[in-house]
Amino acid sequence: MIWNEKAECMSRDDLEEIQLKRLQDVVHRAYQNVPHYHQKFEDIGVFPEDIQTLEDIGKLPFTTKDDLRQVYPFGMFAVPKKDIIEIHTSSGTTGKPVVSGYTLEDIELWSEIMARGLTMMGIDEEDIIQNTHGYGLFTGGFGVHYGAQKMGSTVIPISTGQTRRQIEIMNDFGTTVMIFTPSYGLYLSEVAEEEGFDPTNSQLKAIGFGAEMWTDEMRKEIEKRFGAPAFNIYGLTEIMGPGVAVECQQQNGLHICEDHFYPEIIDSKTSKIMEAGQTGELVLTNLSRQGMPVIRFITKDITRLNYDVCGCGRTLVKMDRITGRSDDMLKVRGVAVFPSQIEKALLKIDGVEPHYQIIVTRPNRLDEMEVQVETSPILFSDEVKEMVAIKNKIGSYIENEIGLRVNVTLVEPKSLPRSEGKAVRVIDKRNLY
């Protein structure tokens, strides 16, 4: 089944015609309605009428996460605020995240692309979808929810956590589709085993997983433990949320909804557009979004585009699964974390040195983050009570910044390795690459 055959299977010529029309329109809207874009375009002397072909997109400036942060919270909106009906944010629950705003039309678009994605995975209105993504500022919960409802399937909006309850519901309701992050999926399967529930003997027929990086071994393990094929879901808050690209039954790449998101691959060092088939950084442009159109957003996600004909019949380009990032962003339990956020939290506390190291592990299938922090000689006392108080304070400052609880370890002054070049801030022991 194909959700929207007209859109998903059209010829490249037809697609490019639509893309150009939408690109011209979106550039116009951004220039007219978003002062930040107006200024950026003026700065380099490019104007909406300069976009005559799709290749002309190369004349437009890139948008970075910093651009979006600069105009926090609502400076990227291209419509009056009354027309924004929903807001999501990326990364953590506090601090200064990136805000994403949606009009009613945008929510309709999000539902459409996610419905396409779920259909690609072989799901239909008969299915019962257990959505373990968080419902809240994170886009995962609502994005999948909208798509499932659009398609007419039954959605269980259980959200994240309550792992034992997840298993009970899976069993009692006869869940046919699980949606989770790969790490949560593996954890769920372990708890299921403890509870004496074997997911391979359940009604499950498909899994949708994404929001963080995974390896082929991880997919195999998930499929074995659940006895169902697992399909990759990609997306990001800045551009929309989950559904920007989803894997079809061929399981060898994700179809990008190119009629709504224009993809480019650039060289991380030179920012030059790369030839089709080369690996680089993915850049995405919203072609039809109303509330917050983002132009040439540098995702920092490393992938490759494949324009070969797909066995599923869709003509939309496929991207490889993400194999890395060009910056130091980590995804811990699905939440985006930057080492600089840890630094920022530490700098707020007297007596703590901004020498730290982040160690990420996955001991029981769930991500754990330890932050080792050097204390100053004055603070490094034998007073256990005092040390515990500092540890707790650091922990709560970090949690406030990134929205995740971490384990804090205090280490002696000058005990963390010093480097002459770039400090090694993160030791990721999860083997995700």
Site residues (CB under 6 A) for ligand DLL? Answer: 90, 133, 139-140, 210-213, 232-237, 241-242, 299, 301, 321-322, 325, 331, 336
| Residue closer to ligand DLL (CB basis): 118 or 228 | 118
- Return d(Cα 6, Cα 249) in angstroms, integer: 19
Helix, strand or coil, per DSSP, at residue 385 = helix
| Residue closer to ligand DLL (CB basis): 110 or 356 | 110
Q: Find the shortest distance in angstroms from Cβ 269 to ligand DLL.
A: 19
| Residue closer to ligand DLL (CB basis): 90 or 130 | 90
| Residue closer to ligand DLL (CB basis): 212 or 264 | 212
Helix, strand or coil, per DSSP, at residue 281 = strand
Full DSSP string of 78-136: -S-GGG--EEEEESSSSSS-EEEEE-HHHHHHHHHHHHHHHHHTT--TT-EEEE-SPPS
- CB-facing half-sphere around the CA of 14: CA atoms within 13 A: 8
Which residues face 285 on adjacent strands? 262
Q: Find the shortest distance in angstroms from Cβ 108 to ligand DLL.
A: 19
| Residue closer to ligand DLL (CB basis): 288 or 299 | 299
Residues 6 or more apart whose Cβ sits within 8 Å of residue 165: 158
Q: Find the shortest distance in angstroms from Cβ 141 to ligand DLL.
A: 8
- Element at 392 (helix H, strand E): helix 384-402
- Element at 254 (helix H, strand E): strand 254-256
Q: Find the shortest distance in angstroms from Cβ 54 to ligand DLL.
A: 24
Centroid of chain to Cα 219: 18
Give residue for tokens 């224009």: 262
- Return d(Cα 96, Cα 5) in angstroms, integer: 40
| Residue closer to ligand DLL (CB basis): 139 or 288 | 139
- Return d(Cα 253, Cα 285) in angstroms, integer: 20
Q: Find the shortest distance in angstroms from Cβ 235 to ligand DLL.
A: 4
| Residue closer to ligand DLL (CB basis): 232 or 285 | 232
Helix, strand or coil, per DSSP, at residue 325 = strand
Q: Find the shortest distance in angstroms from Cβ 78 to ligand DLL.
A: 20
Q: Find the shortest distance in angstroms from Cβ 301 to ligand DLL.
A: 5
